[in-house]
Amino acid sequence: MNAIENALRHLPSVDQLLRRNSLQALIAEAGREAVRDRLREVIAELRDEIADSNGEAARTADAGKITAEIELRLHSRFVRLQQSQTQRVINATGVVLHTNLGRAPLSRNALEAINQVAGNYCNLEYDLVTGKRGKRGTALQDMLAQLLGCEAAAVVNNCAAAVLITLNTLAEGGEVIVSRGELIEIGGSFRIPDVIAKSGARICEVGTTNRTRLSDYESAINEKTRVILRTHPSNYRILGFTEKPSLEDLTQLARTRNLPLFEDLGSGCLIDLEPLGIRGEPTVAYSIKAGCSLVAFSGDKLLGGPQAGIILGEAELIKRIKSNPLMRALRVDKLTHAALGATIASYMSGRAMKEIPALVALSATRETITRRARAFVRRAKNLTHALQLSLIDGFSVTGGGSAPEAQLPTTLISIKSERMKASEIEDRLRKNSPPVIARIVDDQLLLDLRTVSAAEEKELIDAIGRLRETEEGKRVHKKGRK
Ligand SMILES: *Cc1c(COP(=O)(O)O)cnc(C)c1O
């Protein structure tokens, strides 16, 4: 018998493995089918490895060792599967609207509203006054219109959907005029030229990358023009020799030529955030006052609510958008209605800066963060002397493609270790439960408490305590080898 055959003989069967006591807990949790499928994969993987190594891979292994190896690989597959489930993480990056981390955390009121409608029935499309079928989201749309001082509102799945349905409604088969300086890509493959193409309209580019004049728009208008599009270059800036017409001049032009002007604002800032040092984010109210026919923005960027796309503007145009068959495909569910309604209510009551977590995080001063960071380091140092914790000055950012150059002064907690590289600490924290997401600069791990809630601080300290265990484990290991 050759080495390969001999090695393969040691591989247990799937059925044998499924009967093992050590696998019963996993089977109960993940289901027999799933465990069986993963076992087959692991065994096939080992079979290939043994064959590739001419049996060498299993030369020293007996059946017991091979079984242990199979179980190890099986478990690590399920851990990976579990890690990839959507779950809570602690955001210690200081990026307030981190798109990869789910953007805005919701307010207590929004959570309470979701809780109410999610586990019960609700009047989503039912009119409690007449006892008849009602329209979805009427109250929310009225609130939005009232808050922003415009005629009407519509809510869709996200801002990308808002831009798509608006352009499709207004310009399908016709032309959309847009400045070459505003042919933006937001990331996640949202590109203005592609969205225009998908809306069924043709793009009519005017001006140059850095300079576009009112006269460029003017001379591009023809009988096929359906809409003038203005986009907010959220995540980049063109500096230096630049020019673009003011929003007022552009709306004036659109009005005299009887065309709608549609602005894609992206972030949708409802409160002027300049006092916080966040400059260059135009407010929604400003765009409406300047005379835009329609504006669109996200629900989960600076607004601080759930993922949604909000379209505001003239009643006649909003009515056309709502009767577009695409609306049914892009509409939002009861959870989003509840959360967005509660978030908008915070703005209406004037308590947004206190109640909405993203705004609370953005408005935290360096002094407040320093005080928290100092207390944090003191507590963490009591846990561990093996790690070096110190405070350094730094900046947090808004994120979510909003106000790219706004730097919010903060105090960072730096963690260094003699035995672990920053990347190793980062890896450990990421694999903590709950996972902690941090940043690395100049081979030191940095934590920014701006985006960490008071309730999460305790868990963050525990995570650092667990770093100490690995750290000390390494030291013991080293001594033992001497
Ligand atoms: C972020 C952004 C979008 C996309 O918004 P989503 O809500 O993520 O779909 C569109 N346009 C601009 C200008 C943006 O900044």
* CATH number of the structural domain spanning residue 250: 3.40.640.10
State whether 124 and 259 are in the same domain: yes
Dihedral sign of CA atoms 69, 75, 79, 81 in order? positive
| Phi and psi, residue 458, nearest 5° | -60, -45
317 and 397 assigned to the same domain: no
What is the per-residue pLDDT for 363?
96
Strands 126-127 and 261-266: unpaired
Last residue of a domain, one of 330, 355, 380: 355
| Number of separate helices (H) and strands (E) present in the chain | 20, 18
Each residue's pLDDT, cut to its tens digit, for the chain (482 residues) gives 577 777 787 788 999 999 999 999 999 999 999 999 999 999 999 889 888 887 777 666 677 888 888 999 999 998 888 888 899 999 999 999 999 999 999 999 999 999 999 999 999 999 999 999 999 999 999 999 999 999 999 999 999 999 999 999 999 999 999 999 999 888 778 899 999 999 999 999 999 999 999 999 999 999 999 999 999 987 778 888 999 999 999 999 999 999 999 999 998 899 999 999 888 788 999 999 999 999 999 999 999 999 999 999 999 999 999 999 999 999 999 999 999 999 999 999 999 999 999 999 999 999 999 999 999 999 998 877 778 999 999 999 998 877 777 889 999 999 999 889 999 999 999 999 999 999 999 989 999 999 999 999 999 999 999 887 766 666 655 554 43
Return the closest-CA partner of residue 244 out of 230, 260, 264. 230
Cα–Cα distance, 472 to 451 (Å, whole number): 29
Substitution candidate for ligand 1 out of 99, 183, 195, 264 with most atoms within 8 A of CB: 264
Same domain? 348 vs 308: yes
Task: Report whether residue 190 contacts ligand 1, using a CB cutoff of 6 Å.
Answer: yes
- Cα–Cα distance for residue pair 99/399, rounded to 1 Å: 7
Query: According to the model, what pLDDT value does residue 269 have?
Result: 92
Residue of the CA atom closest to atom 12 of ligand 1? 266
384 Cβ inside 6 Å of ligand 1? no
204 and 257 fall within a common domain: yes
Whether residues 237 and 279 fall in one domain: yes
How many residues make up the chain in this entry?
482
Shared-domain flag, residues 76 and 168? no
Q: What's residue 481's pLDDT?
A: 44
- 40 and 133, same domain (yes or no): no
Q: Supply the pLDDT for residue 477.
A: 57
Q: Which of 355, 373, 405 is the last residue of a domain?
A: 355
Same domain flag for 136 and 212? yes
Q: What share of the chain is helix, strand, coil (3-state, %, to 5)?
A: 50, 20, 30
Can you give the residue range of the structural domain that contains 33?
Answer: 2-84
CATH for 457:
3.90.1150.180
Find out whether 61 and 7 touch, Cβ atoms under 8 Å: yes
Please indicate, yes or no, whether residues 131 and 260 belong to a single structural domain of this protein: yes
How many domains, the chain?
A: 3
301 CA → ligand 1 middle, Å = 9
Among 355, 146, 148, 142, which Cα is nearest to 270's? 148
Å from CA of 159 to ligand 1 middle: 5
d(CA 407, CA 429): 26
Are 229 and 266 within one domain?
yes
Please report the atom of ligand 1 found closest to the CA of residue 235: 15
Task: For ligand 1, atom 14, name the residue with the nearest CA.
Answer: 266
Q: Mapped to the 3 state alphabet, what secondary structure does 406-442 carry?
A: CCEEEEEEEEEECCCCHHHHHHHHHCCCCCEECEEEC
Predicted pLDDT at 303: 97
Burial of 462 (0-12, 13-18, 19+ CB in 10 A): middle
Work out which ligand 1 atom sits closest to the CA atom of 233.
13
Same domain, 190 and 321: yes
For residues 34 and 147, state if they share a domain. no
Domain boundary among 37, 54, 84: 84
Q: Does pTM top 0.95 for this prediction? A: no
To test the ligand 1 pocket, which listed residue (103, 190, 284) has its Cβ within 8 A of the most ligand atoms?
Answer: 190
